[in-house]
Chains A and B, each alone.
Chain A
Amino acid sequence: MNKLHRFEIWSTLLLIVWLAALSVVTAFYGAQKTAIFFNSLPLAIYWLMLTGFLLAGLVTFRRLIRLPGLLLIHFGCVLILVGAMWGSASGHHLQKKLFGIDKVPFGYMMIYEGTAENHIIAEDDTVLAELPFSIYLKDFRIEYYSDESYLQVEKRAGIRDYFSDLILLEGEKQIARKTIEVNHPLHYGGYHFYQHLYDIEKGRYSLYTILTVYSDNGLNLVYAGYLMLSLGVLWQFWFRYIGAYLKRRVSGN
């Protein structure tokens, strides 16, 4: 191992250990503070460094190119990091400045039954963006496991699922219909729309639904990275050995 290799792998190791330590410390903060911390400027520098060292490793360590499993793992990690940075709040800000892509990373939509809405709002009701299409709420529903659990309205344990029947409109024209529920969001126009909240006091008779809206920037990169990382670990740690084992058995007989 030459000097360059040693420097690279030690730096990468330090970066990994540093991230592990930060993860443990921020686990005591709660999710909200942790998200703010990992999106701050010093951490942006950290993420860029980590990505840079991974790329440098791919260039200088021939082993990482020669073994397909290791190549998939490390390149997959690069894609995940790049996709995550692209999809972050700062990533959105940068894209607006550089390319004029005007999307909000995250927001809410509040829609009353029988009306259409096209504004993404913040938690304090200020308008963040106006969508080129609008969403019409036909009905908001809650299903319960049984009638008994419905009677205990204050206990949310008996709820089977929340539904919003949505119709997508462009002007007056109806483009699509979709019923969203927990675990089944709507994907349209570069955003994912999720069932989030309702009028808790009225329960199943709530007259409105609240959706959360997430931009899908960088998501395909992250998913591609996940796929490569999964295939990479399986190849590197399992399939290689299974292949060698089968070969041994065939030649042994």
Chain B
Amino acid sequence: MAIKYTIQGLLIYAALAVYAVAFVMMVLRFAKLGRVLYLIGFAFMIIAFGYRWYDVQHIPLQNLFEVFLALGMLVYPLSLFSRRLLQVGGEAVDMLIGVVLLIPLGFVFSAEPQKLPPALQSWLFAPHVAAYVFSYVIMAKATVQAVCQLYCTSGPVDKQQISFELGTYRMVCLGFPLLTIGLILGSWWGKLAWGDYWGWDPKEMWSLASWLVYITYFHFRYMYGKKYPRINSLLVILGMIVIVITLLWVNLSRLFAGMHSYAT
């Protein structure tokens, strides 16, 4: 645990506080106030991300600190997009996801800027990581819908919204192309930087496993989805567990040391 006494740190803490208060407001049914606060938190995160970009002189998506900075910024636009265009709710939980993302960002990860090692100096760096960052946030939201499908006794509060099962499906459909493209761009980059498009590296194996879990979900839902909706939801939750391992465990533990290890 280390508190960051920098402008960057203060912006993150401000966003964290605002997200948390917004969540409490939503729970207390002050939805309008909650949404205004959510927007303010988003503004703080944009400034924090822009400041970081300016500070390190390249797209800040190199290490866990920078990736979580992006994740914490992206929850707001995703909530808005999902509610307006996909009729998928769960804004209050999105705020909570924001809080959960900002706590390690503010207190655990090191903000020490790093110079890019040779292998990371490629134009594929930004799109590869950005595609994954987007898809992970979307899959987190899909997982919330899946958990609601399993445990919520009634449907969504807002009658305009679709069922949790369909909500899960729409979120996975939104995130899956990005997950696929992230994998393919990574493979292409691997060919340029390391010599082979597939290196059998632990992180690659975990990311392949997460992709395959969602493939299983699509095929199972196509065959038996209406009959066993609970299994659909369990598969989406399993996908998220594998994603969390891919993102964190591989970087944080020495158990899986491999070629992706510089992204500490």
Contacts and interface: CB of A to CB of B under 8 A. Distances in A.
B180 A229 contact: yes
Interface in B210-227: 212-213, 215-216, 219-220, 223
A59 interface: no
B216 A16 contact: yes
B205 A13 contact: no
Contact of B177 (A1, A145, A192, A237): A237
Nearest to A39: B200
Contacts of B205: 23-24, 26-27, 34
Contacts of B181: 230, 233-234
Nearest to A105: B196
Contacts of B195: 185, 192, 194, 212, 214
Interface in A1-54: 1, 9, 12-13, 16-17, 19-20, 23-24, 26-28, 30-32, 34-35, 38
Nearest to B202: A27
Contacts of A182: 118-119, 121, 193
**Residue among A24, A149, A212 with most chain B CB within 10 A:** A24
Contacts of B118: 159-162, 181-183
Contact of A31 (B119, B188, B202, B250): B202
Interface residues of B, number: 46
Given A145-B115, A162-B118, A27 B198 contact: no
Contacts of B180: 229-230, 233
B25 interface: no
A234 B184 CA distance: 13
Nearest to A234: B177
Contacts of A229: 180, 184
Interface SS of chain A: helix
Contact of A20 (B174, B216, B223): B216
A71 B85 CA distance: 27
Given A1-B223, A23-B212, A184-B192, A28 B255 contact: yes
Interface string A214-251: 10000100110010011001100110010001000000
Interface in A144-187: 145, 149, 156-162, 181-185
B176 interface: yes
By size class, the interface of chain A is: 35 or more
A225 B122 CA distance: 22
B108 interface: no
B156 interface: no
Given A161-B118, A238-B177, A84 B198 contact: yes
A34 B259 CA distance: 14
Contact of B212 (A19, A26, A245): A19
**Residue among B122, B191, B206, B257 with most chain A CB within 10 A:** B191
A20 B213 contact: yes
Contacts of B174: 237-238
Contacts of B74: none
B184 A31 contact: no
B201 A31 contact: yes
Contacts of A156: 117
B197 A222 contact: yes
B76 to A, nearest CB: 21
Contacts of A27: 202, 205-206, 209, 250, 256
B10 interface: no
A30 B208 CA distance: 15
Given A24-B206, A26-B200, A214-B195, A183 B121 contact: yes
Interface of B: 85, 115, 117-119, 121-122, 173-174, 176-177, 180-181, 184, 187-188, 191-202, 205-206, 208-209, 212-213, 215-216, 219-220, 223, 242, 250, 255-259
26 contacts: A9-B219, A16-B212, A19-B208, A20-B216, A23-B208, A23-B209, A23-B212, A24-B205, A28-B255, A31-B199, A31-B202, A31-B258, A31-B259, A32-B200, A156-B117, A160-B115, A162-B118, A183-B121, A192-B191, A230-B177, A230-B180, A233-B176, A233-B177, A237-B174, A238-B174, A241-B173
Interface of A: 1, 9, 12-13, 16-17, 19-20, 23-24, 26-28, 30-32, 34-35, 38, 84, 145, 149, 156-162, 181-185, 192, 194, 212, 214, 219, 222-223, 226, 229-230, 233-234, 237-238, 241, 245
Given A16-B212, A159-B117, A241-B173, 7 more contacts: A16-B216, A20-B213, A26-B205, A27-B206, A31-B200, A223-B188, A229-B184
Sorted from nearest, which 3 A-B pairs have the closest CB atoms?
A182-B118, A20-B212, A34-B200
